Amino acid sequence: MVALSGGTTPEATYRLLADPTGPGAGVSWPDVHVFWGDERHVPPDAAESNYRMAREALLVRVPVPAAQVHRIPAEMPSAEDAARAYERTLRAVFDLADGEIPAFDLILLGMGDDGHTASIFPGSAALVEAHRLVAAPWVEKFGASRITVTPPVLLAARQIVVLASGGAKAAVLREVIDGPFQPSRYPAQCLRNASGEVTWLVDEAAAAELSTAPGA
Ligand code: 6PG
């Protein structure tokens, strides 16, 4: 059970995983269920769709059964309805009892230069959502809604891998990794409470200000 990230950073990773001679060669794709950690409030064929990016970079090139690709229905006019529908999908596919949280085997995340992850942005009400699995926060900076899994789902994952690259993320990565705990300002800090393993895959430019940076 894997939840993919959107944005631009993971696209190269997805293309690499799709390469039959690459690191994804050993993946038993017919056994994989693919979900998304978040989605923009757009149709699946929109340029900014996280589903579309992952479909084009990975899913059309590996044999994951179509019935095991669970995209967020972000074409629904109401983002809230899309969030409710996706929560129903999670409960059905994970066969959850009431109140149970799905434990993904892997959640792939990114981090914005404002410290957001998934679509949990600074000051977002989604950050303190303790019961719902999926929320539909309005994101002022984009003037749009997003659909996102909530922190309880992130924190229940067996493994989280966060990709961050580029110097524009160096300052915020320092705050997220080394700074005082203030998740409302830096939502990616919520991962400090994850029950599973959290692995940050960052390039040197993004890691340049970390206290553990090479040569630091
Ligand atoms: C999205 C992602 C988001 C992304 C970060 C980083 O929908 O955009 O889920 O959380 O991972 O914004 O984006 P970049 O990889 O484009 O820097």
Q: What distance in Å separates the CA atoms of residue 175 and residue 189, rounded to the nearest whole number?
A: 9
Q: Is the CB of 112 under 6 A from ligand 1?
A: yes
CA distance 61 to 177: 35
Is the distance from the beta carbon of residue 110 to the nearest atom of ligand 1 less than 6 Å?
yes
pLDDT score recorded for residue 72? 98
What is the reported pTM? Answer: 0.97
Biggest alpha carbon–alpha carbon distance for the chain: 51
User: Is the minimum distance from the CB of 78 to ligand 1 under 6 angstroms?
Assistant: no
Evaluate: CB of 38 within 6 angstroms of ligand 1.
Answer: yes
Q: What is the pLDDT of residue 214?
A: 57
How many A from CA of 163 to the centre of ligand 1?
A: 9
Profile the chain (216 residues) by mean pLDDT over runs of 10 residues: 97 96 95 98 98 98 98 98 98 96 98 98 96 97 97 98 98 97 98 98 97 62
